[in-house]
Amino acid sequence: MHQQFGGRARHSVRAVVAGVSSIGQLNSETSITPLFFLSAFRTASVLNSIIDFSKDSDNVLLVRRLIVNPGTEMAWEIPLRAAKITLGRNDDNDVVLDDPSISGSHCVLFVSDSAVTIKDLGSANGIKLGQVLVDEAELPPGQLIEIGDVKLQYEASPAPANPLPQSVMMGKLNCRIHRRNLARYFCPQCQSAFCDLCVSSRNVQGRVAHVCRTCAVECTTLEIPLDETPPEKPFRRQILAAFAYPFLGDGTYSLVLGTIMLLLVSGATYLSRFAFIYGFTALVFLTVFSGGYVMSYSKLILTTTAEGKDEMPDWPEISDYSSDLVAPFFQMLGLITCCFAPAIAMIIFMGIQGNALGDTYIYGWCLYALILLGGFYVPMAFTGVAIFDSLAAVNPLLVIPSITRVIGTYLLTVSVLVIILVIRYLLGSFFSAYLKIPIVPDMIMGLIGLYLLIVEVRLLGLMYRTKKEELAWF
């Protein structure tokens, strides 16, 4: 029985090989552009290292695979599961490698219990083992292979006797990334547990494989008994319940505590303005603290909602100022800047041109339109940043197609968010005008503002949870 890759997987394979040919080895810290980030999201999902257990002559279980583009960030693996596997550029091959240097039917792999043999099928550029052209050869473990310009490496290593440590088998684990989410999968390579949001899912050979994004190894599904839950309600039927969400569980306590904390930060920020240099330093610190903490908590609410939880999470703990506060603050700053970049550019343009513009009526309307466009863009962009935990998710190549896939639900979500903003504005105006007691209006609006923010983020989490199949981010 031949190894079969579905059309979707073949398309992804072509993208990986073509990406390596044109991009080469990239430094993930310095060379990634917004366009490449989306390519990286798609590429990571095809790194399917499906474990195949075979036995060698000593009756030892082996994991056998062929690594394409070994040693690069674009590496991916071919599990050697079938007795005969053909490689080439044509669609009728078991593994399609869409590279100009690959012939239509380039080579074939014969897989047996004792050996793996590669054979040339009359290709134009042949097969090289090391620097030697061969027509047919048995592959030892670790052998480097070149077919055209594509590099391969054959690996055969002993399979772990028990990929799950005893501690994993005996109880529940939390996700390594989203620490408050229950883990569903365990990677035997990096020994880490992940929730549904942190693995790539692919239909391979008629089954769904959940793959670790870091190691490109198929994860083991954790056998954790789950309480039976009713089917997910449509988004529109959960909108009203979102307004009760901040009061569920310990939500009321968290809401009051959060309001007091933000008021103290606001008061300290006000006082710091009168302390000159030290005050400016304190102002910067408090701004980063409050902005980063609110952003971190908003992401936590969205991800726990997306995971299926229906109670407010506790306020996040601060173990490292840089990763827990500074990084979320700059995520928030970058999110706002990217979403409103066209409006910001228009403001700068109008400021530079000044009187040379003449009648600024049309430019003013263009500015309003760009601000509205940015506001329409923000909810999906923020959802992406929270789910991927990366500012790269503001990429229009991810956000715009996502909006179009769920346009009805997204329009409903944005409409509710606009209504909430109007309510906040009207309440703020009312208390400022009619409640003249010092500090009290700020306390009330701080509580209302935090409550409405939690509702807004909850709605975005529900939007993702009910439409994650259509969004197809993983």
Give tens-digit pLDDT for 34-50.
333 333 333 333 333 33
Span 290-309, pLDDT tens digits: 888 889 889 989 988 988 88
- Per the CB < 8 A criterion, the answer to whether 188 and 212 are in contact is no
More confident residue, 317 or 162: 317
Lowest mean pLDDT among 18-22, 110-114, 384-388, 455-459: 18-22
Return the pLDDT at 416: 93
More confident residue, 383 or 450: 383
Nearest by Cα to 246 from 451, 416, 445, 419: 451
pLDDT at 400: 93
Q: What are phi and psi of 136, to 5 degrees?
A: -155, 135
pLDDT at position 353, please? 76
Give the whole-number percent of the chain exceeding pLDDT 70.
Answer: 73
Q: Cα 387 to the chain's mean position, in Å?
A: 5
**Least confident window among 9-18, 74-83, 352-361, 414-423:** 9-18
| Percent above pLDDT 90 for the chain | 23
How confident is the model at residue 358, as a pLDDT?
65
**Residue 14 pLDDT exceeds 50:** no
Helix or strand run (H / E) with residue 304: helix 276-307
CA dihedral 361, 363, 369, 374 (to 10 degrees): -150
Q: Residues near 187 by Cβ (< 8 Å), separated by ≥ 6? A: 193, 194, 212, 214, 215, 217, 219, 220
Helix/strand/coil percent split, the chain, to 5? 50, 15, 35
Q: Is 106 left (phi over 0), alpha (psi -120 to 50) or beta?
A: alpha
Distances (CA, A) of 173 to 150, 182, 192, 195, 305: 40, 6, 10, 9, 18
Q: What gap in Å lies between CA 80 and CA 112, rounded to an integer? A: 10
Per-residue confidence band for 27, with pLDDT thresholds at 50, 70 and 90: very low
Rounded Cα gap, residues 374 and 390, in angstroms: 19
Write down the pLDDT at residue 24.
38
Q: Give the predicted TM-score (pTM) of the model.
A: 0.54
Q: Which of 397, 417, 414, 416 is nearest to 406 (CA)?
A: 414
Q: How far apart are CA 192 and CA 186, in angstroms?
A: 6
Would you state the pLDDT for residue 236? 87
Q: How confident is residue 3, by pLDDT bands cut at 50, 70 and 90?
A: very low
Cα separation, 391 vs 398, whole angstroms? 12
Does residue 171 have a pLDDT over 70? no
DSSP string covering 399-460, please?
HHHHHHHTHHHHHHHHHHHHHHHHHHHHHHHHHHHH--SSSHHHHHHHHHHHHHHHHHHHHH
C-alpha 99/C-alpha 149 separation (Å) is 8
CB burial class (10 A; 0-12, 13-18, 19+) of residue 228? exposed
What integer best gives the mean pLDDT of the chain? 76
Question: Mean per-residue pLDDT for 341-348?
Answer: 90
Whether 10 shows a pLDDT value over 50: the answer reads: no
pLDDT in tens, 178-227: 766 677 788 877 778 887 777 877 655 556 777 777 777 777 777 655 44
Q: How far does CA 421 lie from the centroid of its chain?
A: 28
Q: Terminal CA-to-CA distance of the chain, rounded, Å?
A: 29
Confidence band for 172, pLDDT divided at 50, 70 and 90: low
**Least confident stretch, 134-138, 187-191, 330-334, 340-344:** 187-191
State the pLDDT confidence band at 68, using cuts at 50, 70 and 90.
confident
